[in-house]
Amino acid sequence: MSKKERIDKILSNIGYGSRKDVKNLIKKGMVSIDGNIVKDSGMKVDPYETKIYVRDKLVRYRKYIYIMMNKPEGYVSSTDDPINNTVVDLLDDEYKIFDPFPVGRLDKDTVGLLILSNDGKLAHRVLAPKNHISKTYFAKIQGKIDDEDITRFKEGILLDDGYKTMSSKLDVLKNGDISEVCINIKEGKFHQIKRMFKALDKKVIYLKRISMGSLKLDESLREGEYRELEIEEINLLTK
């Protein structure tokens, strides 16, 4: 089956303006395909099989995008918000045109691994409670962690709304007035980690997500930075 489409439609769909804008670009000789300047805006091409250049820049054609972000503090995990800055605001226009949304939420003050995509099916696979995709967090906790806390995480913790969490893993990295821990949970209730510690009379003072499924945060990304995922990395999200 041919996947050929009109070049003006292809470019318009991925954010190069209206069909009229694209026609103008073509008229000005700014669009080329496999090295030949396009003259006819109705020319049909397969965007996956040809190299399309606009203003000498290669157009990376794809239907879905998958972005890994190291979310900074102070941004909300939504696509728009009347008051706060959103994680989508951090993206360049070349990504925003795909209408990505956060796959799962991190609180405004939580940092770390956040996936943004426009692939609804993937989001569903990652977020469906029955799939129990694991998430790992690094946290700083006010106060000492004792063996009882570790047991409570293992056995499930009764939250303030009466929900009992599934068995989860609490590893202590540093114990003291401010303790450092690693938590692995297989669900994602609202404010889950903070509420689990609250039920133990403890306060989370720093929270960073470091993995989802088998995908780890690329630590070379500074807070606020992001990059596209490699194909193999997309699959790790649900493993």
Told to check if 198 binds ligand URA by CB under 6 A, we report no
The helix (run of H) or strand (run of E) holding residue 133 is: none
- Give the one residue of 45, 76, 193, 229 binding ligand URA; rule: CB under 6 A: 193
Q: Which of residues 199-238 bind ligand URA (CB under 6 A)?
A: 207
Q: How far is the CB of 191 from ligand URA (least distance, A)?
A: 4
Residue 6 or 108 having the CB closest to ligand URA: 108
Residues marked active site are found at: 107
Residue 118 or 168 having the CB closest to ligand URA: 168
Which string of x and - marks every residue 163-192 that binds ligand URA (by CB under 6 A)?
A: ----------------------------xx
- Closest by Cα among 8, 15, 123, 107 to 62: 15
By rule CB under 6 A, what count of residues binds ligand URA?
8
Residue length of the chain: 239
> 58: how many CB neighbours lie within 10 A of its CB?
9
- Give the one residue of 41, 70, 110, 165 binding ligand URA; rule: CB under 6 A: 110
- Give the one residue of 107, 187, 223, 228 binding ligand URA; rule: CB under 6 A: 107
As a whole number of angstroms, the distance between CA 9 and CA 61 comes to: 12
Query: Using CA of residue 114, residue 120, residue 125, residue 128, what is the dihedral sign?
Result: positive
Interface stretch with ligand URA, choices 9-17, 67-75, 105-113, 150-158 (CB under 6 A): 105-113
Contacts of 233 (CB under 8 A, 6+ apart): 66, 68, 215
Q: How far is the CB of 192 from ligand URA (least distance, A)?
A: 4
Residue 168 or 192 having the CB closest to ligand URA: 192
- Closest by Cα among 3, 133, 102 to 61: 3
Q: How far is the CB of 108 from ligand URA (least distance, A)?
A: 8
As a whole number of angstroms, the distance between CA 12 and CA 207 comes to: 41
Residue type, 96: K
Residue 6 or 191 having the CB closest to ligand URA: 191
Q: Do 107 and 140 contact (CB within 8 A), yes or no?
A: no
Q: What phi, psi does 126 have (nearest 5°)?
A: -75, -35
- Give the one residue of 31, 52, 106, 141 binding ligand URA; rule: CB under 6 A: 106
Q: How far is the CB of 198 from ligand URA (least distance, A)?
A: 9
Helix-strand-coil percent breakdown of the chain, rounded to 5? 25, 30, 45
Q: In the beta sheet, which residues pair with residue 31?
A: 54
Binding site for ligand URA (CB under 6 A): 106-107, 110, 191-194, 207
